[in-house]
């Protein structure tokens, strides 16, 4: 997906911008700040912190797909509806 098609890419992201500025100001610059944050996250995961384990898993393997179950009940069953689009030639007689 290109940036032109990504509507989220066009939005103003003040929190992201503030984090970037803070990391640049940090002693050693942005790369050093990110490395320290990554080190702390790995350390927390190794110590058993679930939030850190989940964060690393989500970043390494990607977030798990969410599943959705749709079901009705006996008193209120699901109704299947057909929506059909028919294109008619306006010059054709019906």
Give 37-77 pLDDT, tens digit per residue: 999 999 999 999 999 999 999 999 888 888 877 777 777 77
Task: Please give the C-alpha separations between residue 16 and each of 9, 63, 71, 80, in angstroms, as whole numbers.
Answer: 12, 20, 40, 44
Domains contained in the chain, number: 1
Distance, C-alpha 77 to centroid of its chain: 32
Average pLDDT of the residues of the chain? 84
Task: Please give the C-alpha separations between residue 74 and each of 71, 77, 78, 80, in angstroms, as whole numbers.
Answer: 10, 6, 9, 15
Domain annotation covers residue 16 = yes
> Looking at residue 70, what DSSP letter applies?
-
Domain annotation covers residue 84 = no
Domain annotation covers residue 57 = yes
Domain annotation covers residue 86 = no
Domain annotation covers residue 46 = yes
pTM of the model: 0.54
Query: What's the token pair of residue 94?
Result: 């019906």
pLDDT single digits (tens) 44-55: 999 999 999 999
Q: Domain span at residue 29?
A: 11-61
Domain annotation covers residue 15 = yes
Domain annotation covers residue 72 = no
């Amino acid at each position: 997906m290109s940036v032109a098609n990504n509507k989220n890419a066009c939005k103003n992201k003040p929190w992201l911008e503030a984090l970037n500025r803070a990391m640049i100001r940090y002693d050693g610059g942005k790369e050093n700040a990110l490395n320290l944050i990554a080190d702390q996250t790995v350390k927390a995961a190794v110590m058993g912190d679930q939030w850190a384990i989940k964060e690393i898993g989500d970043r390494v393997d990607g977030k798990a797909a969410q599943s959705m179950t749709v079901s009705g009940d006996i008193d209120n069953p699901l109704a299947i509806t057909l929506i059909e689009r028919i294109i008619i030639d306006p010059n054709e007689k019906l």
